[in-house]
Chain A
């Protein structure tokens, strides 16, 4: 599912946008700092805040994520489905380190804090630009 051409867009250089939907049909959109390559069928999103996105995912596991390659501007629309959250281990530690770097570069140290690595199955990837 995830191919080599998609990997630059998963480096975290350009923030991604995620849209979720509650069980009642109410969409919600926000930015996510990290969309992390886990394997060819999974990505992990940084869980930093207890917010509407988390509530929606608990009701409806589907989400749409837009990622952009900083190399050529290609944009990809991912449909993903929540599977689990990891709060320790190699995946969590690697994402935590990168998030600290992102926070430092963007002046958000002390605000961006990784609470968990939310692992999603990638159901589809469509290039939109």
Chain B
């Protein structure tokens, strides 16, 4: 799948959420702590802290469907939908990448006027689990006339 560079930038650097649903169609969600694209394999690995995202991790292991939403403060946003390929512990390199992402989010939100203690409550955590999904569909979620349209 070809993904425009601006879309990749938003997916990897925006405020990220992961969503899921259980077999009773009850949705769950939480913040993600970074992500990694593998364009050659057509996958996206979403970094989460298992204890923080226990419902999403449980759903991902059972219902096998997940969504990933990422938005910049400018409102540019995209959503990825796909089947869950794996739920696995993160490598040291991935943990390091996640920590860089979280530091960047804390810095961005602090520059927007929030006290650093506020974003640290969510992004001052260490991710330990990667939920890898297939890059099946990506939708433009930026408010406006293109919202909801697939980019791929």
Contact A73 B118 (CB under 8 A): yes
Instruction: Judge whether B30 is part of the interface by a CB distance below 8 angstroms.
Output: yes
B44-79 residues at the A interface, CB under 8 angstroms = 52, 63, 65-69, 71, 75, 77, 79
- Name the distance in Å between B62's Cβ and chain A's nearest Cβ: 11
Looking at chain A, what size class is its interface with the partner chain? Answer: 35 or more
Enumerate chain B residues within 8 angstroms of A26, measured Cβ to Cβ. 21, 65, 81
Contact A66 B143 (CB under 8 A): no
Contact A19 B117 (CB under 8 A): no
Contact B122 A75 (CB under 8 A): yes
Contact B119 A62 (CB under 8 A): no
| CA distance in complex: A59, B28 (Å) | 17
| CA distance in complex: A18, B127 (Å) | 22
B interface residues (Cβ-Cβ under 8 A, vs A): 17-21, 23, 25-31, 52, 63, 65-69, 71, 75, 77, 79, 81, 114-115, 117-122, 141, 143-144, 147-148
A interface residues (Cβ-Cβ under 8 A, vs B): 17-21, 23, 25-31, 48-49, 51-52, 60, 62-64, 66, 68, 70, 72-75, 77, 79, 106-108, 111-112, 128-129
Of the A-B pairs whose beta carbons lie under 8 Å apart in the complex, a sample of 9, sorted by A's number, is A17-B29, A19-B29, A27-B65, A29-B17, A31-B69, A62-B25, A63-B27, A64-B26, A73-B122
